[in-house]
Each structure stands twice: as C-alpha cells, then as structure tokens.
Homo-oligomer: A and B are copies of this chain.
Amino acid sequence: MSRHQDRIRAMDEPDGPDGPGDEVDRLVAAWRRELPRADLSPLEVFSRVTRLARHLDRARRGTFAVHGLEGWMFDVLAALRRGGPPYELSPGELVARTLVTSGTMTNRVTRLAGLGLVERHPDPEDGRGARVRLTGEGARRAEAALVDLAATEQVPLEALEPEERAVLASLLRRLSAGFEA
C-alpha cells in the first residue's frame, strides 16, 4: 500500500476530519479488506464524481420539472440560448456541446420541435446541413430553468467555503482537461 494512499484517508479512523464517512468510504474500505494488494486511490476521487453526478441528476429533475422540462430538453435548449442571437446551431454543433451521439440529437430535436420549443430549418448554405433555432417559448423556458437551477444548486454548495469552491472547480478543470484534450 503506497504512501500517498494513506494520505488520502487513514482507513483506521472510523470518522475522518470531514465528518462521518460517506458511501464511497464504505465502498473503498470493503474493497481494501477484500483485495488488500490493489491501489484503490482512484476510487476515492472517481467514484465520488460518478455518485455525485447521479445525485445531481436526481435533484435537477425536480428543478426542471417546475419549468415543464426534462434534463435532455434543457441540455439542448440551454446550448441554443447561451449561444446568443440568433439562437441557432447545427445538429453537429449541438452534439459537440452535449456529449451525446448524432442519432440521439436528431431524436431530441424532433421531439423538441413537436413541442414547439425549437424549429428545424434547412441550412441555406449547405444542402446537407440543418439549423436548429430556438422559439420564443423555448428561450423563455431555458432562461427560467437556468436561473432556477443556479439558485437551487447554491444550497448544496454552501457546504463549502468560497475559497474551497474555487479550489474544487480548479482541480476538476485540470482533471477534465485529460479527457477533453
């Protein structure tokens, strides 16, 4: 067992300095008991990222529902809205911003168009392409949902001091760089 692994968290303390252990502490402790030879330090970070993302998804569901949206709708509408006027992107650009496949985006746009939140137009400059444009209603909902989301997520964030939030954001940015490169 490596030195820095011990630094991550001393496993013989029942409760660390951060309070009672979370589910990942229990998960890592269990694996360490079963497979003592493996270096499990990545789990301390990455399992927490995955689990936290799951929790965030659940929490966001309620926020979006207030505005008549689901998560996948918000992803698309928000990308169009924050792009600014004329609130219009190609399906390919939307794919790049949302980490889904092109087939998924085609379906999303079709369903959003059926709801009157976007319009699909042919690209006048390229016969192969399409343009997806936000409607007024789509723009209103995207804005309202974003403002609500940011306000709602302040609450869990208050567990950290402002300086700690900055450190966390910075560390996450550097980790993400390895994947987005």
Q: Contact residues of A with B, CB < 8 Å?
A: 3-4, 7-9, 16, 18-25, 27, 30-31, 33-35, 38-46, 48-57, 59, 81-84, 97, 99, 143, 146-147, 149-151, 153-157, 159-160, 162-180
Contacts and interface: CB of A to CB of B under 8 A. Distances in A.
A173 to B, nearest CB: 5
Contacts of A4: 162-163, 165-166
A39 B150 contact: yes
A178 B159 contact: yes
How many copies of this chain sit in the oligomeric assembly? Answer: 2
Contact of A82 (B31, B146, B151): B31
Main SS of chain A's interface residues? helix
A11 to B, nearest CB: 13
18 contacts: A4-B163, A9-B170, A18-B177, A19-B173, A23-B97, A23-B176, A27-B82, A31-B146, A34-B82, A38-B146, A43-B150, A45-B157, A45-B165, A49-B53, A156-B175, A160-B174, A160-B175, A168-B172
Contacts of A153: 42-43, 46
Given A99-B54, A171-B168, A175-B52, A180 B35 contact: no
A19 B83 CA distance: 23
Given A22-B177, A55-B176, A30 B84 contact: yes
